[in-house]
């Protein structure tokens, strides 16, 4: 079971690591100092560091996580099953010497889409 089935009523904590891994934890177990039981899953993005994460803001889609990486790639994860997350690639970064790392990700609520940003992005949204 995963987030969508209500197995984690307090949600899930996601942390992006420098090896390209997203680790998933149960916050109730973390707060209770049950460190071994707290780790509930993992997503592997690739060899580059994960530099941005954002859960979907809608309660009905709280199992959807967007991740960004230092190579400019954005990935969408479905965590309905945190033991076996599914992956979508809505945007494949083109390799370019001018491509910057994703430094932040935010979902746009109307319509629900995501936006990823780089430190070099300038101007209004």
- Mean pLDDT in residue range 101-115: 73
Please write the tens of the pLDDT for every residue from 6-56. Answer: 788 888 899 999 999 999 999 988 888 777 788 988 988 888 899 999 998
**What phi and psi, each to the nearest 5 degrees, are found at residue 50?**
-80, 125
DSSP secondary structure, the chain, as one string: --TTTTS-TT--EEEE-TTSEEEEE-HHHHHTT-HHHHEEEEEE--SSPEEEEEE-SSGGGTTEEEEEETTS-EEEEE-SSTTS-EEEEEEPPPP-TT---EEEEEEEETTEEEEEEETT--S--
pLDDT-derived band at 123 (thresholds 50, 70, 90) equals very low
- Tell whether the model's pLDDT for residue 1 goes beyond 60: no
- Tell whether the model's pLDDT for residue 95 goes beyond 60: no
Q: How much of the chain exceeds pLDDT 90, in percent?
A: 17
- Residue 17 has a pLDDT of 94
Higher pLDDT, 123 or 33: 33
- Residue 86 has a pLDDT of 80
For residue 85, what are the contacts with CB-CB under 8 A and spacing of at least 6?
A: 41, 43, 77, 78, 79
- Mean pLDDT in residue range 63-73: 87
Closest CA to 71 of 85, 89, 57, 54: 89
């Amino acid at each position: 079971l995963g987030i969508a089935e209500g197995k984690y009523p307090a949600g899930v904590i996601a942390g992006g690591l420098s090896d390209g891994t997203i680790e998933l934890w149960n916050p109730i177990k973390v707060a209770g100092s049950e460190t071994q039981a707290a780790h509930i899953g993992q997503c592997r993005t690739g060899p580059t560091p994960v530099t941005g994460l954002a859960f979907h803001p809608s309660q009905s889609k709280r199992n959807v996580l967007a991740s960004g990486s230092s190579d400019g790639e954005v990935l969408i994860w479905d965590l309905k099953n945190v033991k076996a997350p599914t992956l979508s690639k809505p945007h494949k970064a083109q390799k370019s010497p001018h491509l910057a790392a994703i430094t932040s990700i935010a979902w746009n609520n109307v319509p629900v889409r995501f936006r990823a940003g780089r430190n070099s992005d300038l101007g209004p949204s």
